Amino acid sequence: MDVQTEKIELAKRLLETNDEALLLQIKEIFESSDKDFWNGLPDHVKTGIARGRKQAEEGKLTSHEYVMKKVY
């Protein structure tokens, strides 16, 4: 089925439903897909990511192989 046909079928089903819970779920899906996940991250996570990027740029990396040897 092509995208346009799929959209039409979904629109028909949306118009026919009276299930408020389903409508709220659909609304949440649309709203979450419009958001940039970065904005939803806590500040401490953003800070950790920025620190990791800086370390990577400076070549301060630990190889996956090394970590796996330490863990196992």
| pLDDT computed for residue 34 by the predictor | 66
Domain count, the chain: 1
**Regions in the chain scoring below 50 on pLDDT:** none
Rg (the chain; Cα; Å): 22
**24/26 Cα distance (integer angstroms):** 5
* Per-residue pLDDT, 54: 95
The whole-angstrom separation of Cα 59 and Cα 40 is 29
**Residue 59 region, left (φ>0) first, then alpha (ψ -120 to 50), else beta?**
left
What is the per-residue pLDDT for 33?
72
Domain range spanning residue 17? 3-71
* pLDDT, position 4: 93
Instruction: State how far the Cα of 69 lies from the Cα of 72, in Å rounded to an integer.
Output: 5
